Amino acid sequence: MTTDLDFLDLDRLLSEEERLIRDTTRGFVTDKVLPEIAGWFERGHFPRELAKELGELGLLGMHLEGYGCAGTNAVSYGLAALELEAGDSGVRSMVSVQGSLSMYSIHRFGSDEQRAEWLPRLAAGELVGCFGLTEPDAGSDPASMRTTARRDGPDWVLDGTKMWITNGNVADVATVWARTDEGIRGFLVPTGTPGFTARPVGRKLSLRASDTAELVLDGVRLPGTARLPGGNGLGAALKCLNEARFGIVFGALGAARECLETALEYAGTRTQFGRPLAGFQLTQRKLADMTLELGKGMLLALHLGRLKDAGTLTPEQVSVGKLNSTREALAIARECRTILGGSGITLDYPVLRHALNLETVLTYEGTAEMHTLVVGQALTGLAAFRG
């Protein structure tokens, strides 16, 4: 929380080190992201050049141990995600995919050789990674994926299409999940391998400062060593998602905080009917309600972060946090837009940009509906998403 909006004094729940990481990340966003982001969003530009700076700051794979990773605790990782997303969800997405999906999949499920080959350069931001699970016909239901990997002598041959892949056009290595005779398996695909192509997803109205790709794998031949030895079953892919979803629990609240700060400032300076908007009871109610939701969201995020650091966080608890943070952040962004009136629809203010981004954040890493059903299943023992 910023000092201004830290209504509940949650700052005191953080350690010195956590505050330092948060403040360093905030400084980076203030210097490097905020002056440029409206232009990047307008032009649909993905700032690939930020990767090295994010690496130098230790923000890539920051919660992983060894191989050049910073090895911070989970709360620090969450706070960094929050500050990055206060800049833009696209920048946080780049960091989430690099650290929690690409690097985590290698760190957790890779061989020693794979870790040594890829992780140091991914941590430094010299290389970019992506994570291909979703397909054109397999989104919420990744178990229905059609991408295949078949044995051919000592090699693997991959065929299929992955859709909506963040970082996909600029990635050096893709973690690709494919169906084999033995079930779903994870593979590391260097993107220069013949048969691998990436195409930008165009006409996006959300996450415009993020790179989104369709990946086509057409007879991509890989050595036997390209398989992630521990990446067995859909559960392995979902374990990676838990990491990225955790980052979103904090991250989305950063976008909400930025919107609320903007609306508060605007309401204090914009005058109608002879008084500032902030003086109208209806505006104060909006501001108070949003402050409540932001504070509750932060408390929940911090609690989940402490559970993660204690090693007891469950996937269902992550679903509670992802659902709450994304739903409330989007509601806050939309409400703030109303306070800005017509000015709220432009890129002169960050509010509608955040709202548009949050439409994606509500959807990726498991839609709000899927997380609702995960919680419903945990409560009832009945999986309502399958017929």
Distance of closest approach, residue 125 Cβ to ligand FAD, in angstroms: 18
Is residue 377 close enough to count as binding ligand FAD by CB under 6 A?
no
Nearer to ligand TGC among residue 263 and residue 333 (C-beta): 333
Residue 325 in contact with ligand FAD, rule: CB under 6 A: no
Distance CA 1, CA 219 (A): 49
Residue 369: other Cβ atoms inside 10 A: 14
Choose among ligand FAD, ligand TGC, none what residue 80 binds, the Cβ cut-off being 5 to 8 Å by kind.
Answer: none
Residue 147 makes contact with ligand TGC by CB under 6 A:
no
| Residue 238 touches which member of ligand TGC, ligand FAD, none, C-beta under 5-8 Å by kind | ligand TGC
Amino acid at 194: P
Give the one residue of 234, 363, 376, 377 binding ligand FAD; rule: CB under 6 A: 363
Three state DSSP letters for the chain: CCCCCCCCCHHHHCCHHHHHHHHHHHHHHHHHHCCCHHHHHHHCCCCCCHHHHHHHCCCCCCCCCCCCCCCCCHHHHHHHHHHHHHHCHHHHHHHHHHHHHHHHHHHHHCCHHHHHHHHHHHHCCCCCEEEECCECCECCCHHHCCCEEEEECCEEEEEEEEEEEECCCCCCEEEEEEEECCEEEEEEEECCCCCEEEEECCCCCCCCCCCEEEEEEEEEEECHHHEEEEEECHHHHHHHHHHHHHHHHHHHHHHHHHHHHHHHHHHHHCEECCEEHHHCHHHHHHHHHHHHHHHHHHHHHHHHHHHHHHCCCCHHHHHHHHHHHHHHHHHHHHHHHHHCHHHHHCCCCCHHHHHHHHHHHHHCCCCHHHHHHHHHHHHHCCCCCCC
Partner whose binding site includes residue 99, from ligand FAD, ligand TGC, none (CB under 5 to 8 Å by kind): none
Q: Which one of 134, 197, 343, 377 is in contact with ligand FAD (CB under 6 A)?
A: 134
Q: Determine, following the binding rule CB under 6 A, whether residue 369 of this chain makes contact with ligand FAD.
A: yes
Say if residues 188 and 106 touch (Cβ distance below 8 Å): yes
CA–chain centroid gap for 200, Å, is 19
For the annotated catalytic residues, the residue numbers are 365
Regarding 5 and contact with ligand TGC (CB under 6 A), the answer is no
Cβ neighbours of 198 (radius 10 Å): 20
Residue 363 binding: pick among ligand TGC, ligand FAD, none (C-beta 5-8 Å cut-off by kind): ligand FAD
The answer to the question of residue 244 lying near ligand TGC (CB under 6 A) is yes
Instruction: Answer yes or no whether residue 325 interacts with ligand TGC by CB under 6 A.
Output: no
Site for ligand TGC in 200-239 (CB under 6 A): 233-235, 238-239
Q: Of 26-34, 146-154, 289-297, 358-366, which part binds ligand FAD (CB under 6 A)?
A: 358-366
Indicate whether 131 belongs to the interface with ligand FAD (CB under 6 A). Answer: yes
235 binds, among ligand FAD, ligand TGC, none (CB under 5 to 8 A by kind): ligand TGC
- Per-residue x/- mask for ligand TGC, residues 14 to 53, rule CB under 6 A? ----------------------------------------
Choosing from 44, 142, 195, 279, the residue that interacts with ligand TGC (CB under 6 A) is 142
Among residues 51, 158, 207, 267, which is the contact residue for ligand FAD, using CB under 6 A?
207
For ligand TGC, give the closer residue by CB, 11 or 316: 316
Question: Is residue 367 part of the contact set for ligand FAD (CB under 6 A)?
Answer: yes
- Residues near ligand TGC (CB under 6 A) are 93, 96-97, 133-134, 140, 142-143, 166, 233-235, 238-239, 241-242, 244, 315, 364-366, 370, 374, 385-386
